[in-house]
A = this chain, B = another copy of it.
């Protein structure tokens, strides 16, 4: 009899989740597992939203954004009685292993679940914030960056038509990764993030000199976490004397068909997750580091603080001052 393996998505949605789901199902099948889909994340584990992963359910999803398995928060999973219920849902179907696609909160929850009931899992990091320790890349980041790029390129059309400044707020509560990379990629003149101190006086002098030298428009990208969008917009209006507008990109950044990079990462993480489970690893998190794929024990991921690439910081430092 085949051993059951269940897959679900958890936490904020990210492009790349669907290709990862498809790949896990296909590779697990190939390796002799009976794959199950769980809808609505941890909540679905408790509330028994399991479906056998038939071909049709994961066909034609490779190019779709978001997650067809849906995601949801679940405070109940913090309570043993509900985890007990989740365990029974697994047990009655012969499901012995789990693959979760999500963030470190979800990994920790499953780590506890393992401590309780001994069900091993493999974790695939997915979050557009790219702020999970131990891996240089999380699913969804490249698609989010390219959605931002398209929006900023579009806004630039208006900026150049009017000699105006545009402030664009991108996602990132605690992490400026999206803001920094998109500033470099889109040629922003200003980038404000939680990680880098900024100096408006110095920025002001730099822009004034630049405008005197012929610059006609200004693009600024700020991370949500700085809460500087409104202020910076008014400041450019007042101090630089250039008409400025704020655009808050919002959830446009989360969606969109996964890019090739996200699909390829999804493929490699998915294969890695099944292989880690096969060789008996428990609670391993898939990572991409120094250009290579591997996995790490969960404590090396969840007990560490994510640190931004210092080279990226230094490349962006000039945009904050």
**Residues of A in contact with B (beta carbons under 8 Å apart):** 9, 13, 15, 17, 22, 55-56, 60, 62-67, 70-72, 136, 142, 145-149, 151, 153-158, 160-163, 166, 181-182, 184-187, 213-214, 245-252, 254-257, 259-261, 263-264, 267-268, 271, 288-292, 315
Complex Cα gap A66–B158 (Å): 5
* CB neighbours of A187 from chain B (8 A): 22, 62
A157 touches B291 (CB 8 A): no
> Known interface pairs A149-B259, A252-B154, A263-B185. Does A162 touch B72 (Cβ–Cβ under 8 Å)?
yes
A252 touches B247 (CB 8 A): yes
State the Cβ distance, A11 to closest chain B Cβ, in Å: 11
A63 touches B156 (CB 8 A): yes
> Known interface pairs A136-B291, A261-B261. Does A55 touch B214 (Cβ–Cβ under 8 Å)?
yes
A157 touches B66 (CB 8 A): yes
A184-B264, A290-B290 known; 9 new pairs, CB 8 Å cut-off, are A142-B260, A146-B259, A151-B252, A156-B255, A158-B255, A181-B264, A185-B264, A247-B248, A247-B251
A161 touches B261 (CB 8 A): no
> Known interface pairs A251-B166, A264-B181. Does A62 touch B158 (Cβ–Cβ under 8 Å)?
no
Number of copies: 4
Could you write out 5 A-B pairs with CB less than 8 Å apart? A63-B156, A70-B160, A154-B254, A158-B254, A248-B250
A259 touches B259 (CB 8 A): yes
State the Cβ distance, A165 to closest chain B Cβ, in Å: 11
State the Cβ distance, A138 to closest chain B Cβ, in Å: 15
B260 touches A70 (CB 8 A): no
